[in-house]
A and B are shown apart, each in its own frame.
Chain A
Amino acid sequence: MFERFTKPARAVVTTAAEDAGKQGSTPVDAMNLLVALMRRGDGAAAELIGMQGIGPADVLDRAEHVRRRGGISDADARALERFGIDVDQVVNRVEQEHGAGALVSTQRRTRKHVPFGVDAKRTLERCLNEAGALGDRVIGEEHLLLALAGLPGPAADVLDSFGVEPHVLRTALRRAS
């Protein structure tokens, strides 16, 4: 499916897989893709974010905050509060017992073959739809960003917390083309 991806977009996917390999036993997820996308400061996605007046570094900071909390976004935390679960308290207890950053598991050895999780797969599939809807034949970083913003989950929550919603991105892309 990657034959239609641009070189930078492929590089983002590779970086996301490498990052996931350095983390715990979890597969590549949407957050890995978002972080890889934002780390390429000169990329099309970072540029698109910048056009909204948002720095990629700020997005990365918030993504890191979510990661330290075991992949729980602020919106997730509010939803869990409805169940009577205080995520920050859970994280505090775990960190007291197992050390700071305990929920950000790291591998002693970097895994070579990291499977893609359901959300990452769905993100990549959604890129094709997003590109199709915009009439683009090639899939670039901007389509990855658009797909990430549109699929419910912590990565979309991080983008949403900056006001980066799919329709905002689509409007910006149409204007630019």
Chain B
Amino acid sequence: MTEATELAAQAGDRDPRVGLRGVAALRRLLEQLEAVQVRSARVHGWSWQEIADELSISRQAVHKKHGRR
């Protein structure tokens, strides 16, 4: 790697756009992972309250998002 491309790569590492994109992508991934895990818990017979307790959110919030399925 030449000095110039190395510098460019370092600048890229600090590029806020890439960092923000990573955060947005992580949020999307998190939503999908949550859906998978909640579904799995329901299949295993967990109540909405038990799931809500583990996720540290209200039972209403979990049910509103993942209920009716």
| Chain A positions near chain B (C-beta within 8 angstroms) | 24-26, 70-73, 75-80, 82-83, 85, 87, 90, 94, 98, 102-103, 105, 107-109, 111, 152-154
What is the minimal beta-carbon distance from A70 to any residue of chain B, in angstroms?
A: 4
CA distance A83 to B25 in the complex (A): 11
- A78: chain B residues at CB < 8 Å are 18
> Contacts A87-B29, A98-B36, A103-B36; is A108 near B69 (CB within 8 Å)?
yes
What is the minimal beta-carbon distance from B26 to any residue of chain A, in angstroms?
A: 6
> Contacts A75-B21, A76-B21, A103-B36; is A25 near B29 (CB within 8 Å)?
no
Say yes or no: is B53 at the interface (Cβ < 8 Å to chain A).
no
5 tightest A-B CB contacts, nearest first: A76-B25, A70-B32, A79-B22, A79-B21, A71-B28
CA distance A119 to B18 in the complex (A): 18
28 contacts between A and B (CB under 8 A): A25-B35, A25-B65, A26-B31, A70-B33, A71-B28, A72-B28, A72-B29, A73-B25, A75-B21, A77-B25, A78-B18, A79-B18, A79-B19, A79-B21, A80-B22, A82-B13, A83-B22, A85-B26, A90-B29, A90-B33, A94-B33, A94-B36, A98-B36, A98-B40, A102-B36, A103-B33, A105-B36, A153-B24
Q: How large is the interface on B (under 10, 10 to 19, 20 to 34, 35 or more residues)?
A: 20 to 34
Task: Report whether A152 and B69 are in contact in the complex, using a CB–CB cutoff of 8 Å.
Answer: no
Taking chain A's interface residues, is the majority helix, strand, or loop, or is none over half, making it mixed?
loop
- A26: chain B residues at CB < 8 Å are 31, 35
Q: Which residue of B lies closest to A83 (CB)?
A: B22
> Contacts A25-B66, A94-B36; is A70 near B22 (CB within 8 Å)?
no
CA distance A80 to B32 in the complex (A): 16
CA distance A77 to B25 in the complex (A): 8
> Contacts A83-B22, A102-B36, A152-B21; is A70 near B28 (CB within 8 Å)?
yes
Q: Which of A73, A107, A153 contacts B69, CB < 8 Å?
A: A107
- A25: chain B residues at CB < 8 Å are 35, 65-66, 69
